[in-house]
Amino acid sequence: MNKSIKLLIPLVFGIIVFLIPTPEGVSLNTWIYFSIFIGVIVGLIVEPIPAALIGLIGVTLAVLFKVGPVGSGENSVSASTAINWALTGFDNATVWLIFAAFMIGIGYQNSGLGKRIALNLVKKLGKSTLGLGYAISITDGILAPFIPSNAARSGGTLYPIIMSIPPMFESYPEKDSKKIGSYLAWCALAATCVSSSIFLTGQAPNSLALEVAGKSGVSVVDWSGWLVAFLPVSIILFIATPLLAYFIYPPEIKGSAHVVKWAAEEAEKLGKISLKEICMVFISICALILWIGSGYFGVNPTTTAIMVIIAMIACKIISWNDFLGNKPAWNVLVWFGTLVTMAGGLKNVGFLDWVMTITGGYLADFSPIGAMIGLVLIFYFIHYFFASGTAHVTALLGVFIVMASSIPGVDVSLATLLMILPMGLMGVLTPYGTGHSPIWFASGYIKTADFWRLGCIFGIFYILVYLLVGVPWIMNFAYDWIF
């Protein structure tokens, strides 16, 4: 498609939405903001210019129209209030954790540790590319109960190791990405979304959701109750994810005995582990301990990631010029920082409250079971409008709990649990949906159109398995155990 046409598409979509008569119950300011948001989302899909620039343009337009800050849906705000709101995404800890993950990746690359680990992974499991996919899933699943930040787990720990594998097969983001790199990147992203739902401690929004539910007077589950509730779904999705990716997004290299032999020879050439590698191992172990025990030690995962960067510079694993010159890291900082701001603005201007009012009225006519399924589906797919699970929970869960309690015959505790269990799964929908998504997207191995297509396919598959297997399991077999 011609680049000029691509540039016009998001603009045209935004104008068309704006020209649609403002719905009843929505202010003009709210509708202006929504039209800007739609233009940004369409821009991210067709990507006529870099994604970070699209986000920056969207935020700038919102600032010029003075919409986005709290209360700006109904009342005008000052220019200083608007620009202060626009910059709020850059004081978000998750955004900086994602940024730090890219820097940590350079450390694994410069030290040679990433290449050594990758070669050994290929040597053990490289007979099959599918085997590598399962190795990634298993590794993530082992780490998931202990690292409650999927950005730290997938981006900080797995990303630098996994991204060391494709270049060995001459698979690069800009050339032959589908040889093996695209498959491994998608496997890693999707596997982390699954593990984020399997365990209560799989991602931070899970615990936050229970806290919000508890404060709303809803009965909540503990760690084991969460695990049991999601158990059959977790088994199916854990097994299915690498296999589904293998058929839908197949790698060109399927693996062979020759690959294993080659990896063994290359690993042998590396010789003894170097001092820089030893330092990187020590730094990684310390980081892993702090990430696992973040609650016990009182150290935020982002603080740990920044400490890792300082330690790598101190040990001369990376230089300050490496830090300044890491364009993908700075690009994702701008991109994700602006999207976090834009997503938060939907709540600020009252758009999400209006959506809740409309959908709540329709659900009241359904049976209790039908209403709960409806709540689950709306809560799941509305994640397209959010750049993090934390923002999603903060903005909507309390509103959804009120909606559930207003529907006759609905068990509010059950409805709440059914809504929050698949929160990790919904991260697969978009390239900005959860902490680790932009990391894998920015790797360049998953092209924009592929990401949206795969996100839709996997997102629908995940929620169908959850509804067909998970919901009956909870309601008919696990309810008494859980509550």
Note the pLDDT tens digit of each residue in 216-231. 788 888 888 899 999 9
Same domain, 72 and 104: no
pLDDT > 80? residue 23: yes
User: What CA–CA distance (Å, rounded) separates 310 from 283?
Assistant: 10
What's residue 361's pLDDT?
Answer: 66
Please report which confidence band the pLDDT of residue 395 belongs to, taking 50, 70 and 90 as the band edges.
confident
Please report which confidence band the pLDDT of residue 1 belongs to, taking 50, 70 and 90 as the band edges.
low
Residue 346 lies in a domain: no
Please report which confidence band the pLDDT of residue 392 belongs to, taking 50, 70 and 90 as the band edges.
confident
Alpha-carbon 378 to chain mean position: 18
Rounded mean pLDDT of 399-417? 87
CB 387 within 8 A of CB 345: no
Same domain, 144 and 242: yes
In order, the DSSP letters of 318-347 are S-HHHHHT-HHHHHHHHHHHHHHHHHHHHH
Tell me which of 330, 354, 387 is where a domain ends.
330
pLDDT > 70? residue 52: yes
What's residue 31's pLDDT?
Answer: 95
Please report which confidence band the pLDDT of residue 433 belongs to, taking 50, 70 and 90 as the band edges.
confident
Tell me which of 32, 58, 86 is where a domain ends.
86
Same domain, 123 and 184: yes
User: What CA–CA distance (Å, rounded) separates 332 from 437?
Assistant: 11
Rounded mean pLDDT of 118-141? 86
Phi, psi of 172 (to 5 degrees): -125, 160
Same domain, 242 and 298: yes
Same domain, 15 and 115: no
Higher-confidence residue of 209 and 60: namely 60
pLDDT > 70? residue 252: yes
Q: How many independent structural domains does the chain possess?
A: 2
pLDDT > 80? residue 387: no
Burial of 186 (0-12, 13-18, 19+ CB in 10 A): buried
Rounded mean pLDDT of 291-315? 87
∠101-136-261 over CA atoms, to 5°? 110
Residue 51 lies in a domain: yes
pLDDT > 70? residue 293: yes
CB 59 within 8 A of CB 118: no
Residue 225 lies in a domain: no
Phi, psi of 454 (to 5 degrees): -65, -40
User: What CA–CA distance (Å, rounded) separates 36 from 25?
Assistant: 19
User: What CA–CA distance (Å, rounded) separates 111 from 65?
Assistant: 48
User: What CA–CA distance (Å, rounded) separates 106 from 95?
Assistant: 18
Residue 213 lies in a domain: no
Same domain, 57 and 121: no
What's residue 183's pLDDT?
Answer: 96
pLDDT > 80? residue 394: no
Please report which confidence band the pLDDT of residue 459 belongs to, taking 50, 70 and 90 as the band edges.
very high
What's residue 283's pLDDT?
Answer: 92
What's residue 158's pLDDT?
Answer: 85
CB 256 within 8 A of CB 125: no
pLDDT > 70? residue 348: yes
Same domain, 324 and 261: yes
| Average pLDDT over all residues of the chain | 88
Could you read off the pLDDT of 314-339 as tens digits, one per residue? 999 999 999 999 887 888 788 878 88
Please report which confidence band the pLDDT of residue 179 belongs to, taking 50, 70 and 90 as the band edges.
very high
Residue 313's contacts (CB-CB under 8 Å, 6 or more residues apart) are 319, 320, 323
What's residue 442's pLDDT?
Answer: 87
Residue 164 lies in a domain: yes
Please report which confidence band the pLDDT of residue 97 belongs to, taking 50, 70 and 90 as the band edges.
confident
pLDDT > 90? residue 302: no
Same domain, 138 and 274: yes
Tell me which of 45, 65, 86 is where a domain ends.
86
Please report which confidence band the pLDDT of residue 63 belongs to, taking 50, 70 and 90 as the band edges.
very high
Residue found by looking up tokens 């991260």 in the block: 427
Structural domain of residue 53, as residue ranges?
1-86
Same domain, 238 and 315: yes
Rounded mean pLDDT of 2-14? 86
Same domain, 80 and 101: no
Same domain, 82 and 104: no
Residue 202 lies in a domain: no
Helical H runs in 174-293? 181-198, 204-215, 223-248, 257-270, 275-292
Rounded mean pLDDT of 244-253? 94
In order, the DSSP letters of 59-107 are HHHHHHHT-SSTTTTTS---HHHHHHHHTGGGG-HHHHHHHHHHHHHHH
What's residue 14's pLDDT?
Answer: 93
pLDDT > 70? residue 132: yes
Rounded mean pLDDT of 159-183? 89
Residue 108 lies in a domain: yes
Q: Which residues pair with 175 in a beta bridge?
A: 172
The closest alpha carbon to 36, from 332, 335, 337, 345, belongs to 345
Q: Which segment, 120-124, 167-171, 278-282, is predicted with the most confidence on average?
A: 278-282
What's residue 360's pLDDT?
Answer: 65
Residue 413 lies in a domain: no
Rounded mean pLDDT of 141-151? 81
Instruction: Report the range of poorest mean pLDDT among 122-136, 388-402, 414-428.
Output: 388-402
Same domain, 102 and 237: yes
